[in-house]
């Protein structure tokens, strides 16, 4: 568990936090017989002020995650040269900011949202890498497709040329036993593997976006190719102006 007093304030402190997470990721990959280079770290900068995010970027983090469209837009305008990942549930009327500023979207959870993004991306003359969100924890309050609904959705997604499928995403249950959390990650991996034989022509679905500060090592051991880590890098966010 992350120390509640952990709160990097200098480039060197951010660099140390970054390196510590990367080391844990590498160890997890090796335990699973994988290369550490197979797994990307998305540093979740959400709710952190622009000044702190700049320090993190100076410390070497250039793949950043945001879950609020307006906050993403503000930071993308202020901090160039970063790959921005939109990682939170998105309402269709907020699609413009994601279409304009994000490079990746890790929470595609409906056809109507996909269509809204397609329309906005056409206006912006951009493309967007997307991950389909799957509710592998089977929690009623969480967004995401059921496993059986992903294959039919792929046929619809194939007709939206501004959206480029990278893979699948899930979030495990919060504070659940290790066996339960690993089960959700394994379910996503197995779904990805089953889909390989029935993908529409030209479509790929290789990547798995799963794992956060509390469970990213288990996620890597179960096949994650991207992990989304915030607290272990930025510390706790209780005093953030973005939460007011």
* Strand pairing class (226-229; 104-108): unpaired
CA-CA-CA-CA dihedral for 108, 113, 115, 121, to nearest 10? -70
Q: What is the pLDDT of residue 140?
A: 79
Distance, CA of 92 to CA of 71 (rounded, Å) = 16
pLDDT band (50, 70, 90) for residue 3: confident
Q: Percentage of the chain with pLDDT > 70?
A: 96
Task: With respect to residue 27, please indicate whether it lies within any of the assigned structural domains.
Answer: yes
Q: What is the pLDDT of residue 242?
A: 47
Model confidence pLDDT, tens digit, residues 67-124: 999 999 999 999 999 999 999 999 999 999 999 999 999 999 999 999 999 999 999 9
The total of structural domains in the chain comes to 1
- Alpha-carbon separation of residue 13 from 61, 78, 217, 238 (angstroms): 13, 22, 22, 19
Model confidence pLDDT, tens digit, residues 168-187: 999 999 889 999 999 999 99
Q: What is the pLDDT of residue 195?
A: 97
DSSP designation for 145: B
Domain enclosing residue 48, as ranges: 11-234
Q: What is the pLDDT of residue 4?
A: 74
Q: What is the pLDDT of residue 44?
A: 98
- Taken in order 129, 147, 138, 115, the sign of the CA dihedral is positive
Task: With respect to residue 230, please indicate whether it lies within any of the assigned structural domains.
Answer: yes
Task: With respect to residue 2, please indicate whether it lies within any of the assigned structural domains.
Answer: no
- Is the pLDDT assigned to residue 241 strictly greater than 80? no
Task: With respect to residue 241, please indicate whether it lies within any of the assigned structural domains.
Answer: no
- Is the pLDDT assigned to residue 240 strictly greater than 50? yes
Task: With respect to residue 118, please indicate whether it lies within any of the assigned structural domains.
Answer: yes
For the residues 18-29, what does the mean pLDDT come to?
Answer: 98
Q: What is the pLDDT of residue 138?
A: 86
- Is the pLDDT assigned to residue 244 strictly greater than 60? no
Task: For the full predicted model, state whether its pTM sits above 0.75.
Answer: yes
User: 109-123, 134-148, 154-168, 181-195: which has the minimum mean pLDDT?
Assistant: 134-148
- Is the pLDDT assigned to residue 5 strictly greater than 90? no
- Alpha-carbon separation of residue 63 from 41, 43, 74, 75, 190 (angstroms): 7, 6, 16, 13, 27
Task: With respect to residue 216, please indicate whether it lies within any of the assigned structural domains.
Answer: yes
Token pair 């967007």 is found at 128
Query: Could you tell me how far CA 25 lies from the centroid of its own chain?
Result: 16
Domain of 220: which CATH number? Answer: 3.20.20.10
3-class secondary structure, 174:
coil
Distance, CA of 174 to CA of 68 (rounded, Å) = 20
Is the distance from CB of 101 to CB of 143 less than 8 angstroms?
no
pLDDT band (50, 70, 90) for residue 24: very high
Q: Percentage of the chain with pLDDT > 90?
A: 90
């Amino acid at each position: 568990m992350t120390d509640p007093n952990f709160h990097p304030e200098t480039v060197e402190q951010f660099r140390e936090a970054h390196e510590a997470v990367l080391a844990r990721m590498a160890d997890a990959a090796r335990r699973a017989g994988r290369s550490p280079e197979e797994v990307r770290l998305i540093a979740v900068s959400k709710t952190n002020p622009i000044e702190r995010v700049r320090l993190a970027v100076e410390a070497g983090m250039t793949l950043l995650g945001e879950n609020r469209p307006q906050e993403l837009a503000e930071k993308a305008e202020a901090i160039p040269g970063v790959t921005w990942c939109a990682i939170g549930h998105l309402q269709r009327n907020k699609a413009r900011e994601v279409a304009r500023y994000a490079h990746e979207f890790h929470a595609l959870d409906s056809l109507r949202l996909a269509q809204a993004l397609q329309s906005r991306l056409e206006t912006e003359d951009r493309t967007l890498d997307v991950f389909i969100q799957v509710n592998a924890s089977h929690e009623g309050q969480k967004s995401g497709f059921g496993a059986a609904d992903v294959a039919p959705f792929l046929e619809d997604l194939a007709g939206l040329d501004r959206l480029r499928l990278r893979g699948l995403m899930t979030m495990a249950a919060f504070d659940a036993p290790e066996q339960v959390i690993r089960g959700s990650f394994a379910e996503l991996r197995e779904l990805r593997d089953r889909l390989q034989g029935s993908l529409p022509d030209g479509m790929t679905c290789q990547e798995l976006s799963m794992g956060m500060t509390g469970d990213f090592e288990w996620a890597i051991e179960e096949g994650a190719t991207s992990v989304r880590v915030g607290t272990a890098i930025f510390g706790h966010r209780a005093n953030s102006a973005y939460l007011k």
